[in-house]
Amino acid sequence: GTSVVLGKEPVYVAGEAAGYVTSAAYGYTVRKPIAYAWLPSAVGVGDAVEIEYFGRRVAATVTAEPLVDPGMERLRG
């Protein structure tokens, strides 16, 4: 989706509240919304999480930094 969360939203792991969004913005390089969140150390890259946004849960994936377009698909059009 294109919804950009505002910050302080709860983050769920395996259906349980596990952390919260600390900041968020639109990532123009990757053309997707980005949210930074405090999560337990047991949650790792590739793990599925959900962010509660105005009463609904939005699926998200924990991703490593830097956030880039490794295949350079954007440049190739």
User: Domain map of the chain by residue range?
Assistant: 10-67
pLDDT beneath 70: ranges in the chain: 1, 72, 74-75, 77
Q: Hunting for tokens 């930094």 — which residue is that? A: 65
Q: Check the CA dihedral 11-35-9-23 and report its sign.
A: positive
For domain 10-67, give the CATH superfamily: Aminomethyltransferase beta-barrel domains (2.40.30.110)
Selection from 15, 41, 11 nearest residue 24 by Cα: 11
pTM: 0.83
The single-letter code of the amino acid at 1 is G
pLDDT of residue 68: 78
pLDDT of residue 75: 67
* pLDDT for position 77: 66
Alpha carbon 75 to its chain's center: 23
Tally the residues of the chain.
77
- Whole-number pLDDT of residue 25: 94
pLDDT the model gives residue 46: 97
